[in-house]
Structure 1
Amino acid sequence: MFRISDFRGNDVPNCHMQNCPFTKNYMYISSNYRTPLMDAFLDSGKKLGYRTIDYNSDERIGFGYVQANTLNGRRHSTSKAFLFPFKDRKNLHILTQATVTKININHVNKKAESVEFVYNKMTYTVETKKEIILSAGCIASPQLLMLSGVGPKEHLSEMNIPVVQDLRVGQNVYDHVAFLGLVFQLNTTGIAITPSNTKIQDVKDWLFNGEGPLSLPSGVEGIAFVKTSVSEEEFDYPDIELLVGPLSLATQRSQNNLSGVKVDYFEEAFGDLTDEETFSIAPMLFHTRSKGQITLKDKNPFHWPQVTYNYFKDRRDLKTMVEGIKYAIKVGTSGNFENIGSRLYKKKLPSCSTLEFGTDQYWECALRSLATPMQHHVGSCRMGPAWDPEAVVDHHLRVHGVKRLRVGDISIIPIPLTAHTNAPAVMVGEKLADILKADWN
Structure 2
Amino acid sequence: MQNLGNSTVPSLLSDASKRLEQALKHVTISEDAIARLQHPKTSLSVSIPVRMDDGRLKVFSGYRVRYDDTRGAGKGGVRYHPNVSLDEVQSLAFWMTFKCALLDLPFGGAKGGITVNPKELSKAELERLSRGYIDAIADAIGVDTDILAPDVYTNATIMGWMMDQYSTIQRQLCRGVVTGKPLSLGGSNGRDTATAMGAFIVIQTMLPKFQLNPQETTVAIQGFGNAGSALAGFLAEAGYKIVAVSDSKGGIYAPQGLDIASVREHKNQSREMKAVYCQGSVCSIVEHQVISNQELLALDVDVLIPAALENQITANNADDIKAKYIFEVANGPISSDADKILGKKGIYVFPDILVNAGGVTVSYFEWVQNRSGWYWTLEEVNQRLKAKMEAEAENTWTIAKDLIIDARTAAYVNALNRLGTALDAKGTRNYFVKTDK
TM-score normalised to the size of structure 2?
0.27
Bigger RCO of structures 1 and 2 (CA < 8 A, at least 6 apart):
1
* Higher-helix-fraction structure: 2
TM-score normalised to the size of structure 1?
0.27
